Structure 1
């Protein structure tokens, strides 16, 4: 399923990558019900993931605080460090750019995340490392958190396989607009 999902995402990115980023920026995240100065975690895109950079710049302009994920090792949840455009960055595994260790650690109120496929119930197919599942479980044990997957419309599937450890997304933001995930 991951191989097919990667192919679908790659085709969507080639067809509409820049337009998709502009569309999600226009939609914003007001639908999530968490106004500024909430803390929003974004991500630096890898390959054919939708680039949330312009959305994050919009959110900063609206008064949101921003942070980016940091991988601390296999099997561990992500942590988040404060970030603003122009901050110095380091490079981690897979070419992922991360804030430097001096940046303060934050626990986001809204988590934006990449994915390979999603379904209407909010299950996401990721890369198989479980980072976002562990992270959402950790954050949800601390406070209410809104999770939003960023995806091309073409990435929707009928059902994503899931286990007891999989954390569902609250919303999916696609170029067509936000989709509230069903709870049943």
Structure 2
């Protein structure tokens, strides 16, 4: 999902040099895609971005309403928007008012899985070690069973392209995996060969569509 694979990709019969070449090509392809997608986000008109964000928020809310009856008190993992990511804060406020427990991710160490802290919109915030806003009072919670995952890019097979840190990769390595809902703009759909550690998201929601079509779970 995010980042380059920590084990080189390739077929087992290939020699070590072929493994290295595959890994380099894989890395270069993702780096190029990241640069292109970041530039496209910077070019978004603010009013158009706000319109898209509202449409995405409505789709996420509809998804939540269709699935929240399974475990009404289940914590929903959300994200604080960075680098032009879809801003869903109005949605978070609506969910919190409806009594949905929310949690934000927290980077606790390099090359480790994310931790999660309980969050109520409007409470005091500070910056974590990565410069990401987190609650000033850090009330740690277990990994949420439902998780919104911001995507810099995504494929038709629902593999995620992130910023390269690998934090979501490591968060989703251990079973049981949470239900993962990718959040992205429709124009962020790209193509790349997934790595050995990439895990497909359960669904990807954009302002105009979802993947897989008609099978949101």
Matched ranges for 1:1-184 at <5 A: 1-12=33-44, 14=46, 16-31=48-63, 34-35=67-68, 36-100=72-136, 102-138=138-174, 141=175, 143-157=176-190, 159-180=191-212
RMSD, aligned CA: 2.1
> Aligned partners of 1:114 and 1:102: how far apart in 2?
22
Q: Conserved in 1, the CA contact under 8 Å of 2:115 and 2:140? A: no
SS at match of 1:67: strand
- Count of paired positions: 178
Q: State the Cα distance separating 1:14 from its structure 2 match.
A: 4.2
TM-score (norm 1): 0.86
Tell me the alpha carbon deviations over residues 111-139 of structure 1, each in whole angstroms, 9 at most, x when there is no partner. Answer: 1122211011110111111101111223x
Please identify the structure whose Cα radius of gyration is greater: 2
| Structure in which a larger fraction of residues adopt strand | 1
Give the structure, 1 or 2, with the largest relative contact order (CA under 8 Å, sep 6 or more).
2
Measured after TM superposition, the shift of residue 46 of structure 1 is 1.1
Q: Deviations over 1:82-140 (max 9, x none)?
A: 001122222023421012354132321111122211011110111111101111223xx
Query: Which 5+ residue runs of structure 1 have no aligned equivalent?
Result: none
- The alpha-carbon distance between structure 1 residues 120 and 26, as it changes in their structure 2 partners (threshold 3 A), is same
Q: Is the 8 A contact 1:82 1:106 kept in 2?
A: no
Contact 2:186 / 2:209 at 8 angstroms: preserved in 1?
A: no
Change (3 A) 1:179 1:57: farther
CA distance in 2, matches of 1:44, 1:113: 10
Moved over 6 A (4+): none
TM-score (norm 2): 0.74
